[in-house]
Amino acid sequence: MSESWQHAESFAVTNTYMLDAEVLCDVTILAGKDEQEVKCHRFMLASRSPVFYTMFCGSLPETGVVQVPDVEASVFRQVVRFVYSGEIQVMPESAMALLYVAKKYDIQALTDRCRTFLEKIIAVDNVCIILEQAVMFDEKVLIQQCLTFVTDNSDQVFRSNEIMSISPEALRLILQGEKEKQKLQPEKVYATCTEWAKQSFTKAGKENFTGGDLRQQLGDMILLVDFARMTFDSYMDHVDEDDILSNVEKIECIRGIRKRRKERPSFIARFGDIKSPWSHGNLADGISFRTPNDVILCSVALYRPCKPGNLSGTLEILEDREIVLTQNVTIMFKDNETYENINLVKEITIRQGVTYSVRQTLKGQLSYYGVDHKETVKINGILVTFMDLKADKLVYSSSLQALQIHGITLKL
């Protein structure tokens, strides 16, 4: 005699049999716009979903037939089978739809399953879609996962087609994260914002639009672009003539650029190319410089070892021939890096017209060295003239033309 289906040890097996065979089903779900029938049991739905419980056991209980036009029948059947068996195969093409149903009916176990799956498959071509859905369902953990991915892959995400279709709410979060992390040039962020607004109009069938139209679409999101990090020329070329910003906002942007220009350190590199190896013999190497500006010396770029190991010794800053700073330094080998910016333990005020010198005395591993020198360099309004070391101390081969001290960092 064949074994009865009721003899199965697992409740999931017997429950699923009753679902598939429509044994004692007492409710019919009309799923999707085409109202396909999905027959099931009220007590099973109510046992896993507070929403279904209220629907069937509340003061005005649903009976007989329930319409669910916003969920396709194939998706609803997967959800029902999960309710009966606890098993489901979440796939990329169905994950967002399943999450929608899980959130709608408060099926927590399915919500967790979908969230875990989505966290694992986040990629450049889907992160915007996943973020948009996560925002819609207020999935805070998933939102943060998406934003972290965007930060780590910002250049690719901002170049993707998918970001052009993202919701304003999700775009705002991306822009907030970018302003905080500053992974991209602000010109690129601005271009993405304006293109997003333009495509919004194009999709709506509007081909002609003004800067004012784009601003209306963007709202105050456009102010999340860090205009102050642009140069003045770049701002004038990319932003000023678009008329997306108001006149008052344009003035504030220019003020911000001027303020940031004064505060932002400028790295002055004195070589155009880097080679190896260079041998240090615990003798001094250095360079002198002067500038017509009153500036602050923040750091000095010294060459790293070109092989595993380290260099150690002293770094000195001199004003004319007087030592104004001495600090011990240790520079480690690092793959794919040729120099290290050594932050000074005390920033040095550089007075206009006075000759200053940077001097290193190191020993240890072979290092990189610079060639193709630049005698004068001007960056962000700071002009620096380099010259051979003027300080009175034995110097080992370094000169204006080549070898040690890759550059210096100054700020106004």
| pLDDT tens per residue across span 379-409 | 877 899 999 887 655 555 555 566 889 999 9
Q: What is the pLDDT confidence band of residue 1, given thresholds at 50, 70 and 90? A: very low
Residues in contact with 258: Cβ distance below 8 Å, sequence separation at least 6, in sequence order = 232
Q: Positive or negative CA dihedral for 132, 151, 159, 98?
A: negative
Does 261 or 39 have the greater pLDDT score?
39
User: Is 17 in a helix, a strand, or coil?
Assistant: helix
Is the confidence at residue 266, as pLDDT, over 50? Answer: yes
4-13, 90-99, 180-189, 393-402: range with highest mean pLDDT: 180-189
Is the confidence at residue 82, as pLDDT, over 90? Answer: yes
> Which part of the chain has CATH 3.30.710.10?
5-121
Q: What is the pLDDT confidence band of residue 143, given thresholds at 50, 70 and 90? A: very high
Does 182 or 8 have the greater pLDDT score?
182
Which pLDDT score is estimated for 263? 65
Residues in contact with 337: Cβ distance below 8 Å, sequence separation at least 6, in sequence order = 304
Q: Positive or negative CA dihedral for 236, 238, 244, 250?
A: negative
Between CA 250 and CA 258, with CA 254 as vertex, the angle to 5 degrees is 170
Residues in contact with 359: Cβ distance below 8 Å, sequence separation at least 6, in sequence order = 284, 285, 286, 315, 316, 317, 318, 389, 391, 393
Is the confidence at residue 285, as pLDDT, over 60? Answer: yes
Which pLDDT score is estimated for 150? 96
Q: What is the pLDDT confidence band of residue 262, given thresholds at 50, 70 and 90? A: low
Task: Give the CATH architecture of domain 266-411.
Answer: Sandwich (2.60)
User: Is 364 in a helix, a strand, or coil?
Assistant: strand
Q: Would you tell me which CATH number, out of the four given (1.20.1260.10, 3.30.710.10, 3.40.50.2300, 3.50.50.60), belongs to the domain 5-121?
A: 3.30.710.10
In angstroms, the CA 86 to CA 407 distance is 63
Is the confidence at residue 288, as pLDDT, over 70? Answer: yes
Mean pLDDT of the chain: 89
Tens of pLDDT, residues 314-337: 999 999 989 999 999 999 999 989
Average pLDDT over residues 214-220: 94
> Which part of the chain has CATH 2.60.120.820?
266-411
Is the confidence at residue 224, as pLDDT, over 60? Answer: yes
